[in-house]
């Protein structure tokens, strides 16, 4: 019981959840315009690497963040071009992008820093920790909520902002319409392609930040393949949250909590494999209870069998 009341557990949850949350929000945007983004993992990895490169080149944390966002946006632009203009299969391009990211980052690690495995630089500045003035002094809550990197707060803010955007603005409504029924939206004069590009690029920016939090948030280092499946967990969070920002936020928090709990439970009676497995089981169950669409309707809408 002591364990569940420990403030550091929740504080580490917030930290662990941020990369997943940011990427999952990006994935939700893509899913809303009808692009199922399997490449999140690769985009985060590129973000993590380019954040380190940006930091190394400029020595300024904010420029590094900007650099990471720009780099990942270029890759998501490539993704968008191939899927929207060249009509390549979204899943295929996503899988290829993951490979490209893994190969490219490891290769560039050797090419730029001339190291293998991981790169650490003590002189590099990590993301600052923000102590929030009033909240910091509240006994338990202060230790949980205060003292995180700005990206942690940005992620939480984005949940609300994206929710408002998607469900309370005209543009957001059009974005959802573009994904829901592209043909009908086109006939109403909605520029579907523009919305798709916009969503992909925004997803790139969010994944860039997710990667930056990963490589600059806690420790300033980059390791080969350091995303370690987080992109896929983000994808699962997107699906569990039904691409609704609030839902995505809640499911990301659940996954982050499970992650922190499983590291905490190491060495105790319960094997960690089961706590790590739990998010995926929960998602399966959630899919079971929230299923609604029929496969024939899906096939009819996309006019192809591969889903």
Binding site for another protein (CB under 8 A): 36, 82, 85-89, 91-93, 95-100, 102-104, 106-107, 110-111, 116, 229, 232, 235-236, 239, 271, 273-274, 276-277, 280-281, 283-284, 287-288, 291, 293-296, 299-300, 305-307
Identity of the residue, 29 or 93, whose beta carbon is nearer to another protein in the bound complex: 93
Residue closer to another protein (CB basis): 66 or 95 = 95
CA separation for the pair 286, 170 (Å, rounded): 30
Q: Which is nearer to another protein, 62 or 274 (CB)?
A: 274
Least separation in angstroms between CB 291 and another protein: 5
* Distance separating alpha carbons of residues 140 and 62, to the nearest angstrom: 30
Least Å distance between CB 36 and another protein? 8
Q: Compute the least distance from the CB of residue 101 to another protein, in Å.
A: 8
**Which value, in Å, is the radius of gyration of the alpha carbons in the chain?**
20
Q: Are 50 and 56 in contact (CB under 8 A)?
A: no
Bridge partners for 118 per DSSP:
223
Residue 116's region, left for phi above 0, alpha for psi from -120 to 50, else beta, is beta
Per DSSP (E only), the strands in the chain are 118-120, 221-223
Q: Which is nearer to another protein, 1 or 269 (CB)?
A: 269
- The CB-of-236 to another protein minimum distance in angstroms stands at 6
Which residues on adjacent β-strands are paired with residue 228? none
Dist CA 6 CA 124 (whole Å): 31
- Cβ 106 to another protein, closest distance in Å? 4
The distance of closest approach from Cβ of residue 3 to another protein in the complex, given in angstroms and rounded to an integer, is: 21
| Cα atoms found within 13 Å of the Cα of residue 281, Cβ hemisphere only | 7
Using the minimum distance from each CB to another protein, give the nearer residue, 85 or 129.
85
Which H or E run includes 15? helix 7-32
The first and second tokens of residue 179, run together, are 């994904």
| CB-nearer residue toward another protein: 8 or 228 | 228
């Amino acid at each position: 019981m002591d364990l569940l009341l420990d403030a550091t557990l929740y504080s580490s949850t917030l930290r662990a959840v941020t990369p997943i949350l940011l990427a999952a929000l990006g994935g939700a945007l893509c899913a809303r315009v009808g692009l199922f983004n399997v490449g999140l993992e690769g985009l985060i990895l590129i973000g993590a690497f380019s954040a380190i490169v940006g930091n190394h080149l400029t020595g300024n944390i904010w420029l590094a963040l900007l650099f990471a966002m720009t780099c990942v946006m270029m890759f998501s632009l490539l993704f968008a071009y191939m899927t929207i203009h060249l009509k390549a299969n979204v899943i295929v391009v996503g899988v290829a992008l993951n490979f490209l990211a893994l190969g490219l980052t490891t290769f560039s690690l050797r090419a730029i820093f001339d190291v293998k495995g991981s790169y650490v630089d003590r002189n590099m500045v990590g993301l600052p920790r923000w102590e929030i003035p009033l909240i910091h002094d509240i006994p338990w809550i202060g230790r949980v909520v205060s003292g995180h990197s700005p990206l942690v707060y940005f992620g939480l803010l984005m949940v609300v902002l994206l929710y408002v955007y998607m469900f309370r603005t005209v543009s957001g409504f059009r974005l959802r319409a573009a994904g829901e029924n592209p043909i009908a939206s086109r006939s109403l004069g909605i520029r579907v392609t523009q919305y798709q590009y916009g969503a992909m690029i925004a997803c790139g920016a969010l994944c860039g930040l997710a990667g930056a939090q990963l490589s600059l948030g806690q420790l300033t280092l980059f390791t080969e393949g350091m995303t370690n499946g987080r992109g896929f967990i983000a994808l699962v969070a997107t699906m569990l949250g039904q691409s609704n920002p609030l839902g995505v936020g809640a499911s990301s928090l659940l996954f982050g909590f499970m992650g922190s709990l499983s590291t905490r439970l190491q060495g105790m009676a319960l094997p960690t494999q089961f706590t790590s497995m739990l998010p995926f089981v929960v998602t399966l169950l959630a899919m079971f209870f929230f299923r609604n669409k029929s496969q024939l309707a899906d096939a009819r809408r996309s006019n192809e069998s591969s889903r």
